[in-house]
C-alpha cells in the first residue's frame, strides 16, 4: 500500500486518555512509510510522555509555542508548512471548541489556525465521554468544523475509561490508518455503486458436513476496501469467512450458493459495477440430510446426488442492464492449470468484458497473489504482489474502462 508512503503528518495530541492510542498510531504511520512530527498540548503530557512519542516518531516533540529550537521562533508556522496533513488524535471536546472559535493559546491550536487551509488538510479524530459527545454544544461545534472544511472522523462505541458505555471513543489506530488511506486515495470511482461477491460458499450435506473450497475471501475483501477508498459505495456479499468487514462497506453474509445468487440478484439492480470474486460451488447436494448421516459397518457408503448451482456471474452478465452497458461486470476465475487458455475460454462463456484469473492453489489463504487480466484485446499479467496493491491496480483498470 502506497497511499501514505512519503507523506509527512503533524500528529497533534490534545488532552485525553485516548493519547495511549496515539502511540500505536504513530508507530503504524511510520511502518506505512510516512514521517511523523508530534505536537502535544500541555494536557496531553499528563496522559503520555513526550519521550515516548519522540522514541516512536524519531523526532523531537514540540509542546510550547515559545520553543527556541526554531531559528525564527515560529514553530507554528514552520511545522504546518512542512505537513501533508495535520491529524489531531485525540481531539478532545475542549480542543475542538478552540478550533471552532479560532482560539490560539498554545502551540497546537496556534499551528492549526496558521496552517495554509488549501494546502494542508486538518483531520480530526474525536475522543470524549459519551455525554460530552452527545451534548448539543459539541454536535454544533463538529457541524461547524465540517462546514469550515475540516475532515472529521467517526467515533467508536464501547467501554469508556470513566466506566460508562457508548459513543465517543476515538477510533482504533488501524481504523484511523484506513481512513487516512482512503483520504489520500484518488476518487476515481466517486459515487459509483459497486457490488462484490467474496469468499467460498458452503453446500450442506447434513447438519454437520458440507462441500466447500479453500477460498479465504481476502481478494474480494481487499477489492471492497480499494473500491471504497476510491469513493465507491460498496456492497459486499460474503460467504463464510473469518474476515472483518472493511470500514464503510455494507456487508451481506450468506452461506450457500443459492443464498448468494438470491442476494446478488436483489442488490445488482441498483449497481453500476458487479465484481464476482467469490469461489461459488458449482454443485450442491440435491437433498441434504436433516440429521447427521451416521457411519456404520452395516451401511454402504452414502452416494451424494449432486445438482448444478445457478451460475451467478453468467446470469448477471446476460441481464438487460449488463448487455446494454449500464452494468459493468468483472469475473474472477481460479484455475489449477493452463491458466491463460482456460481463462480466455471462461471469459467468452461468461460473456463479461473483463475476467481476472489466478492459479488458486498458489494463493488461497495468502495475502499475496498474481493475476492475469483477460479482455477482448488479449491478456496482461499483474506480477506477484499484495492483494491490497493488486486491488488498487484493478480499481485503476476499472476506472479507466468505465471512463471510455
* 164 lies in the same domain as 278: no
Residue 340 forms part of a structural domain: yes
Residue 59 forms part of a structural domain: yes
- What region, left, alpha or beta, does residue 201 occupy, with left being phi > 0 and alpha being psi -120 to 50 degrees? beta
* 253 lies in the same domain as 397: yes
Given 19, 26, 112, 162, which residue is catalytic? 162
What pLDDT does residue 107 have? 95
* 15 lies in the same domain as 60: yes
* Annotated catalytic residue 112: no
Give the total number of structural domains in the chain: 2
Q: How many CB atoms lie within 10 A of CB 2?
A: 14
**Burial group, residue 349, by CB count within 10 angstroms (0-12, 13-18, 19+):** middle
What pLDDT does residue 229 have? 97
Q: Of 152, 183, 214, which one is at a domain's C-terminal end?
A: 183
Sequence-ordered alpha helix ranges (H) in 209-351:
218-229, 257-267, 312-317, 320-323, 339-350
Can you tell me the mean pLDDT for 357-376?
93
What pLDDT does residue 298 have? 78
- pLDDT at 175 > cutoff 70: yes
* 176 lies in the same domain as 282: no
* 134 lies in the same domain as 202: no
C-alpha cell at 324: 446494454
Residue 1 forms part of a structural domain: no
Q: Taking Cα atoms as reference points, which of 363, 354, 305, 358 lies closest to residue 327? A: 354
Range of 236's domain? Answer: 193-402
Q: For the domain that residue 131 is a member of, what is the CATH number? A: 3.40.50.1950
* 150 lies in the same domain as 199: no
* 351 lies in the same domain as 209: yes
Q: How far is CA 211 from CA 76, 131, 285, in A?
A: 62, 50, 9
The pLDDT tens digits of the residues spanning 109-150 come to 999 999 999 999 999 999 999 999 999 999 999 999 999 999
Sequence-ordered alpha helix ranges (H) in 82-127:
93-101, 107-114
Can you tell me the mean pLDDT for 41-54?
97
The span from the CA of 263 to the CA of 388, in Å, is 26
The span from the CA of 310 to the CA of 175, in Å, is 37
Q: Of 183, 207, 226, which one is at a domain's C-terminal end?
A: 183
What pLDDT does residue 1 have? 62
Amino acid at each position: 500500500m502506497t497511499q501514505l508512503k512519503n507523506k509527512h503528518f503533524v500528529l497533534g495530541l490534545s488532552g485525553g486518555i485516548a493519547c495511549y492510542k496515539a502511540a500505536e498510531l504513530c508507530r503504524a504511520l511510520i511502518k506505512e512509510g510516512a514521517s511523523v512530527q508530534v505536537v502535544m498540548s500541555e494536557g496531553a503530557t499528563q496522559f503520555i510522555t513526550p519521550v515516548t512519542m519522540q522514541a516512536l516518531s524519531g523526532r523531537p516533540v514540540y509542546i510550547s509555542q515559545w520553543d527556541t529550537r526554531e531559528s525564527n521562533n515560529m514553530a507554528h508556522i514552520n511545522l504546518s508548512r512542512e505537513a501533508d496533513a495535520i491529524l489531531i488524535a485525540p481531539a478532545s471536546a475542549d480542543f475542538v471548541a478552540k478550533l471552532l472559535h479560532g482560539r490560539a493559546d498554545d502551540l497546537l491550536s496556534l499551528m492549526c489556525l496558521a496552517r495554509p487551509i488549501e494546502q494542508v488538510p486538518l483531520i480530526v479524530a474525536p475522543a470524549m465521554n459519551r455525554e460530552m459527545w452527545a451534548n448539543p454544544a459539541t454536535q454544533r461545534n463538529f457541524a461547524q468544523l465540517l462546514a469550515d472544511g475540516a475532515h472529521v472522523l467517526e467515533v467508536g462505541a464501547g467501554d469508556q475509561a470513566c466506566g460508562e458505555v457508548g459513543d465517543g471513543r476515538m477510533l482504533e489506530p488501524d481504523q484511523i490508518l484506513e481512513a487516512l488511506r482512503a483520504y489520500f486515495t484518488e476518487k476515481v470511482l466517486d459515487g459509483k455503486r459497486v457490488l462484490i461477491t467474496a469468499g467460498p460458499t458452503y453446500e450442506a450435506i447434513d447438519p454437520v458436513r458440507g462441500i466447500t473450497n479453500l477460498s479465504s475471501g481476502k481478494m474480494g475483501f481487499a477489492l471492497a476496501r480499494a473500491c471504497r477508498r476510491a469513493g465507491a459505495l460498496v456492497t459486499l456479499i460474503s460467504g463464510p469467512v473469518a474476515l472483518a468487514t472493511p470500514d464503510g462497506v455494507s456487508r451481506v453474509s450468506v452461506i450457500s450458493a443459492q443464498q448468494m445468487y438470491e442476494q446478488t440478484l436483489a442488490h445488482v439492480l441498483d449497481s453500476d459495477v458487479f465484481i464476482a470474486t467469490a469461489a461459488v460451488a458449482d454443485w450442491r447436494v440435491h437433498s441434504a440430510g436433516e440429521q447427521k448421516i451416521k457411519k456404520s459397518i452395516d451401511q454402504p457408503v452414502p452416494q451424494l446426488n449432486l445438482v448444478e448451482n445457478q451460475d451467478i456471474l453468467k446470469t448477471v452478465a446476460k441481464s438487460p442492464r449488463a448487455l446494454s452497458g449500464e452494468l459493468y461486470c468483472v469475473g474472477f476465475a481460479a484455475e489449477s492449470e493452463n491458466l491463460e487458455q482456460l481463462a480466455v475460454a471462461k471469459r467468452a462463456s461468461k460473456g463479461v468484458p473483463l475476467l481476472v484469473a489466478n492459479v488458486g492453489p498458489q494463493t488461497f489463504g495468502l495475502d499475496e497473489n498474481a493475476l492475469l487480466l483477460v479482455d477482448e484485446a488479449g491478456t496482461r499479467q499483474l506480477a506477484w504482489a499484495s492483494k491490497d496493491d493488486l486491488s488498487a491496480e484493478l480499481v485503476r483498470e476499472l476506472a479507466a474502462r468505465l471512463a471510455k
